[in-house]
């Protein structure tokens, strides 16, 4: 068991090291720091991950940092996915945003209880990283297909009917507001004309 864990850890470190040697702005900065300090970029990245993890446990504004991490990379990856001609990456990031939206909705109503959980922001950040992980065990795909999709398909007709009713009520309210506004403007103009003629 320990040997398998150690092997998985080494594979993960090798993949991370490989990703840290791809050419982009972030790795250019890491390369510059690596050259100046002599510290390998893998160790720099692991140190940054450890610092962020520790900060999420005890730092001020950890809620902002957690939500920033859960939003920044997926938003950029979604932008890149939209710009490609492939459909698979679009589906992957749409799945992430659906799961993220459901999670935010659940979190909104359970926040009063979740707030008291020790290390909540650290655990939430780990969960969001699990959702966006570029791996076969991607959390957003797993959660979507195991929970959200079956629930959505089961209640799809009711949801569509409810949305149609809300849209119809919105149209009626808009038409009523438009009619009332037109009447008020017309009455105001009539009063102004009568007042100016006196």
Which pLDDT score is estimated for 94?
92
Residue 129 CB partners (closer than 8 Å, separation 6+): 69
| DSSP structure string for 120-156 | HHHHHHHHHHHHH-SSTT-HHHHHIIIIIHHHHHHTH
10-42 pLDDT, tens digit each = 877 888 788 778 887 777 888 888 888 888 888
Which pLDDT score is estimated for 1?
63
Q: What is the pTM of this model?
A: 0.71
Which pLDDT score is estimated for 33?
86
End-to-end CA, the chain: 97
88-141 pLDDT, tens digit each = 888 889 999 999 999 999 998 888 887 788 888 899 999 999 998 877 778 899
Distance CA 196, CA 198 (A): 5
| Alpha helix (H) residue ranges in 1-138 | 2-20, 25-37, 41-58, 62-83, 88-114, 120-132
146-186 pLDDT, tens digit each = 999 999 889 889 888 888 889 888 888 888 888 888 888 88
39-57 pLDDT, tens digit each = 888 888 888 888 888 888 8
Task: Report the candidate in 130, 136, 72, 133 with the shortest Cα–Cα distance to residue 103.
Answer: 130
């Amino acid at each position: 068991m320990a040997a398998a864990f150690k092997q998985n850890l080494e594979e993960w470190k090798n993949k991370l090291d490989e990703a840290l040697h791809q050419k982009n702005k972030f790795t250019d900065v890491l390369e510059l720091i690596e050259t100046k300090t002599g510290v390998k970029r893998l160790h720099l990245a692991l140190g940054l991950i450890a610092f962020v993890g520790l900060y999420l446990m005890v730092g001020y504004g950890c809620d902002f940092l957690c939500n920033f991490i859960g939003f920044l990379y997926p938003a950029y990856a979604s932008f890149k996915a939209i710009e490609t001609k492939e459909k698979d990456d679009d589906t992957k990031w749409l799945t992430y945003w659906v799961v993220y939206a459901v999670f935010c909705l659940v979190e909104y109503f359970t926040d009063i209880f979740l707030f008291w959980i020790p290390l909540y922001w650290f655990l939430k950040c780990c969960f969001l990283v699990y959702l966006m992980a570029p791996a076969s065990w991607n959390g957003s795909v797993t959660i979507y297909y195991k929970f959200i999709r079956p629930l959505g398909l089961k209640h799809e007709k009711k949801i569509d009917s409810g949305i149609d009713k809300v849209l119809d009520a919105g149209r009626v309210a808009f038409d009523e507001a438009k009619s009332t506004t037109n009447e008020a403007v017309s009455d105001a103009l009539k009063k102004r004309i009568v007042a100016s003629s006196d």
